Amino acid sequence: MSNELDFDQLLSKYKADPFTYVDIFSVHTGRVSFKAGVGQEVASAGGEWLQILGTALYEINRERNPRIVNAQVNGIVAHINSELEGQFVEAGVKLMTIKHPLKKKEIIEIILKDVLSLFPAPESAKYFFAIDIQSRIDKKGARAVTIEPGEEILTMSLMKRDTPVFYKGERGVIHSIYFKPGLSVGQGEPLLGVCAPEKLPLIQKIITRVKAEWDSEH
Amino acid sequence: MADNQPTPQAVLQRLRRELLLQDASVRYDRTEIVRYGAFVGSVIECHDRLPRAMDHARSLIAACAGSGRALASGTVILADEMSLCKGRFTRSWHAPRGGVWGCMVFANTLLPQWRSFISLTAGVACCEAVREICGAPSCLRWVNDVLVGGRKLAGFLVESYTEALHGEEFALVGFGINVNNISFPSEIQGTATSLCRILGRDIDLTEFTTIFLAKLAFTFGILHHEEARDLRGDGFSGRQGNHLLLDRWLSLSDTLGRRVLYGFDVMTAPQYQAEVMGLDPSGGLILRLADGSVKTEYSGEIRYLE
């Protein structure tokens, strides 16, 4: 968790290039066939329940089981490893890059992720707060709730199998909640952003500064 | 002394009956399945009253670990009545005398990809037990609710528990089956039922529980049997190469083709209406929404709309 942030440098970086570059990797082994081209605009999953699939990016075929992989973010296809077209690849091979335009809220979140301790999802599943944590959030708001290492904070729910999730990290307050009840979270994606109580003023300073600067120039 | 008193010997004897159902047309080996599943019910604790079986199971696991032992996988904890039963989220579960209330402790040795199937086992076992003991037309509603005549007869909830001393992971398979209990709290009067209500007579609780546990043993045997086949590269033994447990689930369910209301917590926060298209190989529910898009859900619950 960093105490020192060079706001001017950070903000000028995002002003100069208000994009993030999202690498797309093969989801498993198989033969790859690209479905999108360089420069093509791609859309993320849409609809109220994210039921409308994003743009098809590539197909991967393993043992005659073809699987289309769709975009999870919107943007422009910036790069494709075209030499892999029709080739057999291992899982986790970088296939392409999407240039995703950042909104103000996303820039704030990206900067905050450098400052907060992120608590990642242990498995792809849906999550909800443990009863005790939820009642404390309901009473006081998340940013007034301090969590301790080893405390049961969430329940991971998959096929009616509920698994308690225990907090591993430094004692802190729940600053950011990255999941919504009812929507799946991928393995490794952040569920919570936690910070020490004394860092809350720094966090607020970041939010205020980015909002002010961005609103004045964009 | 508890009313519901099944014994490990009776469960095993009942499980052995599955061997008599050998069918040359199927690809699976019942003997192997019975051998894999026989751990279920190898220890059975029968209590007159408990607050909650899962909490008792956690205490037993922790106490065993603390004394340098391990609680036997397959241990079943039953109580004639429970005072602090709960369903999903903050829902309470009414557990008076006359029902089958308890949990089975499973030391989770399954590979991660098969752990989601644990929830399916209890529903399948209960549905088969109901059909066998009284022929009531029970059906499964995804994930594992057992319904008769559109009313809920039984519900199951799996809770994972990692023992603190050695880090051993357990799945606690909780079950609540309305058998001879006939009164329900007002909020579920219109949606719950019991075998006694359906049949107009009492069922022998111990006999029913014995059959249910034998069926649960067989379905857990299927899980291990199919995992072993998959690891050997033999493929699954259900129809058209499907996982055998999914096959059995599908044969007992009336969910496919139904119009449903879906929600992660469908009672307090229903999300959308859809038509059920099928189950994916992981047991996920494939739904077609009103706009024609197709979405697969791996958690949450449904209610039938028609």
For chain B, percent of residues with pLDDT exceeding 90: 81
CA B293 to chain centroid = 31
Q: Is the pLDDT of residue B212 over 80?
A: yes
Q: Which two tokens mark A84?
A: 């892999």
DSSP state of B132: H
Contact yes or no for B264/B289 (Cβ under 8 A):
no
Residue A112 contacts residue A44 (beta carbons within 8 Å): no
- Contact of B78 with B53, CB cutoff 8 Å: yes
User: Cα distance from B184 to chain A (closest Cα, Å)?
Assistant: 23
Q: What backbone phi and psi angles, to 5 degrees, belong to B27?
A: -95, 0
Distance CA A102, CA A13 (A): 12
Please answer yes or no on whether B272 and A182 come within 8 Å at the CB atom. no
CATH class of domain segment(s) A104-217 = mainly beta
Q: Specify if B156 maps to a domain.
A: yes
Pairwise CB contact (< 8 Å): B272 & A48: yes
Listed by number, the residues of chain A in 94-153 with a beta carbon closer than 8 Å to a beta carbon of chain B are: 123, 125-126, 128, 131
pLDDT band, very low/low/confident/very high, at B73 (cuts 50, 70, 90): very high
CATH number at B71 reads 3.30.930.10
Residues B184 and B269 in one domain: no
What local confidence, expressed as pLDDT, does residue A1 receive? 44
Whether B227 and B109 map to the same domain: the answer is yes
Tokens of B110: 């399954």
What pLDDT score does B259 carry? 97
| Mean pLDDT of the A175-204 span | 89
The reply to whether B261 falls in a domain is yes
- Residue B33 or residue A50, greater confidence: B33
Under 8 Å CB pairs connecting chains A and B tally to 81
CA-nearest residue to A183 within chain B is B264
Amino acid sitting at position A210 = V
| Of the candidates B52, B51, B70, the residue with the CA atom closest to the CA atom of residue B61 | B70
Give the mean model confidence (pLDDT) for residues B258-285. Answer: 94
For the domain that residue B297 is a member of, what is the CATH number? 2.30.30.100
Token pair 């190469």 in the structure block, residue: B241
Cα distances from A16 to residues A12, A39, A216, B153, B183, in angstroms, run: 6, 20, 15, 62, 69
Do B281 and B157 fall into the same domain?
Answer: no
Q: Which of B39-53, B77-91, B129-143 has the lowest mean pLDDT?
A: B77-91
Considering its fold, how many domains does chain B have in total? 2
Statement: residue A174 has pLDDT above 90:
yes
Q: In the prediction, which pLDDT does B25 show?
A: 64
Residue contact B161–A164, C-beta within 8 A: yes
Write out chain A residues lying below 8 Å of B158, CB-based.
160-162
Q: Is B2 a member of any domain?
A: no
B3 within a domain of the structure (yes/no): no
The yes-or-no verdict on residue B24 having pLDDT over 70 is no
User: pLDDT at residue B66 above 60?
Assistant: yes
Q: Is A162 at the interface with chain B, CB within 8 A?
A: yes
* B71 plus B146 within the same structural domain: yes
Q: Which two tokens stand for residue B121?
A: 């086992």
- Within 8 A of B264 by CB-CB distance, chain A residues are 126, 128, 157, 181-182
Residue A79 has pLDDT above 90, yes or no: yes
B1 within a domain of the structure (yes/no): no
The secondary structure element, H or E, covering residue A57 is strand A56-62
pLDDT over 80 (residue A217): no
The whole-number pLDDT of residue A82 equals 96
Give the domain range for residue B52.
Answer: 8-250
Residue with tokens 């699939």: A53
Mean of per-residue pLDDT scores for chain B: 93
Q: Minimal CA–CA distance to B128: which of B248, B254, B278?
A: B248
What digits encode the pLDDT tens for the residues A131-159?
899 999 999 998 899 999 999 999 999 99
Kindly state whether residues B106 and B214 are assigned to the same domain.
Answer: yes
The answer to whether residues B90 and B231 belong to one domain is: yes
Does any domain span residue B278? Answer: yes
Q: Is the pLDDT of residue A64 over 90?
A: no
**Whole-number Å distance between alpha carbons of A162 and B119:** 10
Kindly state whether residues B69 and B175 are assigned to the same domain.
yes
> Quick one: B28 and B46 in the same domain?
yes
From residue B271, alpha-carbon distances to A51, B301, B305 in Å are 12, 10, 13
Highest mean pLDDT, choosing among A15-19, A172-176, B21-25, B41-45: B41-45
Interface predicted TM-score of the whole assembly (ipTM), two decimals: 0.87
Backbone angles phi, psi at B50, to 5 degrees: -145, 155
Verify that B154 and B227 share a domain, yes or no: yes
Q: Is the pLDDT of residue B220 over 90?
A: yes
Q: For A49, which of B161, B271, B284 is closest by C-beta distance?
A: B271
pLDDT tens track for A90-101: 999 999 999 999
Say whether both B152 and B69 belong to one domain.
yes
Rounded alpha-carbon distances, angstroms, from residue B165 to A186, B73, B158, B160, B251: 29, 17, 22, 16, 42
B144, A158: Cβ pair inside 8 Å?
Answer: no
Quote the distance between the C-alpha of residue A209 and its chain's center. 22
Among A1-10, B129-138, B248-257, the minimum mean pLDDT is found in A1-10
Q: Does B265 lie in the same domain as B246?
A: no
Confidence of residue A105 (pLDDT cuts 50, 70, 90): confident
Q: Which tens digit of pLDDT belongs to each residue from A15-44?
A: 889 999 999 999 999 999 999 999 999 999
* A53, A123, A181 member nearest B264 (Cβ): A181
* Residue ranges in B24-117 assigned as alpha helix (H): 30-37, 53-66
Same domain, B149 and B210: yes
Provide the percentage of residues in chain A whose pLDDT is more than 70. 96
pLDDT of residue B145: 96
Residue B271 near chain A (CB below 8 Å)? yes
Give me the pLDDT at residue B33, please: 95
Question: Over chain A, what is the mean pLDDT?
Answer: 90
Q: Confidence band (pLDDT; 50, 70, 90) for B158?
A: very high
Q: What is the pLDDT of residue B159?
A: 94
Give the domain ranges of chain A. 19-101, 104-217
A99-110 mean pLDDT: 90
Tell me which residue has tokens 């209590």: B47
**Confidence check: pLDDT of B232 > 50:** yes
Q: Would you say domain A19-101 falls under CATH 2.60.40.1190?
A: no
- Which alpha helices (H) appear in chain A, and where do they start and end? 7-16, 104-115, 131-140, 200-217
Q: Which helix (H) or strand (E) holds B295?
A: strand B294-297
Residues 6+ apart with CB under 8 A from A135: none
Residues contacting residue B125 through CB under 8 Å, at least 6 positions apart:
B212, B213, B215, B216, B218, B219
Q: Which chain B positions have a beta carbon within 8 Å of A51's beta carbon?
A: 272, 289, 291, 293-295
